[in-house]
Structure 1
Amino acid sequence: MINSPNAGAGGWRALTPDITPLLDIIFIVLVFLLLTANMPLQSLEVDLPKSDSEALSVVQEEKTMTISLLAGSPAWALQGEQYDDWAAFKPVLEQNLEALKKTELMLASDATVTVDNMMKLLAFLQEHNIQATQILMEEE
């Protein structure tokens, strides 16, 4: 029989592996998974046209209001009147809510506008139940 040098009282504990670092890693991974697993995804529903012919229509100026999203500063415009930021533009939209609901709303966006600006505007329109919105696009 092979005896270890610490084979006296309690010497058998020196031969067992220390699993404390392993348990630390397991708990860190477990906490990471619990914190990242329940992240809610935010989405915004947008109804897109089913065909190209349905999407294209002639703009009638007398029945429409146009909101423009511009690249750079100023970033917003309503009927050609420009605003520097969302904090200045949102009260103007709130003042014109009745007109926005009664007319056909057109969104004109520069190609380099960030998605964040478009999402702010679409979320505002959805929050105030403005459904009839068209997005202007250039013909190819």
Structure 2
Amino acid sequence: MIGSEQGIGSSAQSSIGIDLTPLIDIIFIVLVFLLLTANTQLLTLPVDVPTETKSELVGLSQEEHLSVNIMDEAPHWALDGQTFDQFDQFEAAFISAFNASPDLNVVVAADKNAPVQPLMTVLALLQRQQISNTQILMEP
């Protein structure tokens, strides 16, 4: 009798509660899918490039210019050969050098193995300062 009573009690307890684990699993999977496929804001920086098919690379002029170097290893930024560990220091030195001679061309020379982020921060700085007289050095 005792064995039959335990069998009846355990089957009654299991039929009373509904197992919501599969439903919760599906809800979490759908939630993760929606979060991963949601539109993220992409930041862009407009750069004007030559549109003519006849345009060729032009050599660097011998005129005086302000040289910005992007190196492949830290420190990433240099201004006329002087390196800066922090971008804030580089930005302050660049702004003061450019304000001293605003008619100078700005030449950006990036190492081919340099990461893209330091170059993008320099281009954003040029855009914030509204500097449009810029050349980017590249190998032919």
TM-score by length of 1: 0.72
Question: What 5-or-longer segments of structure 1 have no aligned partner?
Answer: 1-5
- Which position in structure 2 is the counterpart of 1:29? 29
- Which position in structure 1 is the counterpart of 2:137? 136
Paired residues of 1:76 and 1:84 also in contact (CA < 8 A): yes
**How do 1:41-56 residues align onto structure 2 when only pairs under 5 Å count?**
41-51=42-52, 53-56=54-57
Paired residues of 1:49 and 1:55 also in contact (CA < 8 A): no
Paired residues of 1:44 and 1:123 also in contact (CA < 8 A): yes
In structure 1, the residue corresponding to 2:35 is in which secondary structure?
helix
CA distance in 1: counterparts of 2:22 and 2:135, whole angstroms:
57
Aligned residues: 129
Paired residues of 2:77 and 2:87 also in contact (CA < 8 A): yes
Kindly provide the CA deviation profile for residues 45-89 of structure 1, in whole angstroms up to 9, marking residues without a partner as x: 222222465241232232422111122244222122222332321
CA distance in 1: counterparts of 2:56 and 2:25, whole angstroms:
55
In structure 1, the residue corresponding to 2:113 is in which secondary structure?
coil
Paired residues of 2:64 and 2:105 also in contact (CA < 8 A): yes
Note the C-alpha offset of 1:30: 3.4
TM-score by length of 2: 0.72
Measured at CA, do residues 24 and 91 of structure 1 come closer, stay the same or move farther in structure 2, by a change above 3 Å? same
Note the C-alpha offset of 1:107: 0.7
Measured at CA, do residues 61 and 19 of structure 1 come closer, stay the same or move farther in structure 2, by a change above 3 Å? farther
In structure 2, the residue corresponding to 1:93 is in which secondary structure?
helix
Paired residues of 1:66 and 1:78 also in contact (CA < 8 A): yes
Question: What 5-or-longer segments of structure 2 have no aligned partner?
Answer: 1-7
Measured at CA, do residues 20 and 130 of structure 1 come closer, stay the same or move farther in structure 2, by a change above 3 Å? same
**How do 1:90-129 residues align onto structure 2 when only pairs under 5 Å count?**
90-98=91-99, 101-129=102-130
In structure 2, the residue corresponding to 1:91 is in which secondary structure?
helix
Measured at CA, do residues 50 and 105 of structure 1 come closer, stay the same or move farther in structure 2, by a change above 3 Å? same
Over aligned residue pairs, what C-alpha RMSD do you find? 2.9
Deviates more, 1:18-27 or 1:122-131: 18-27
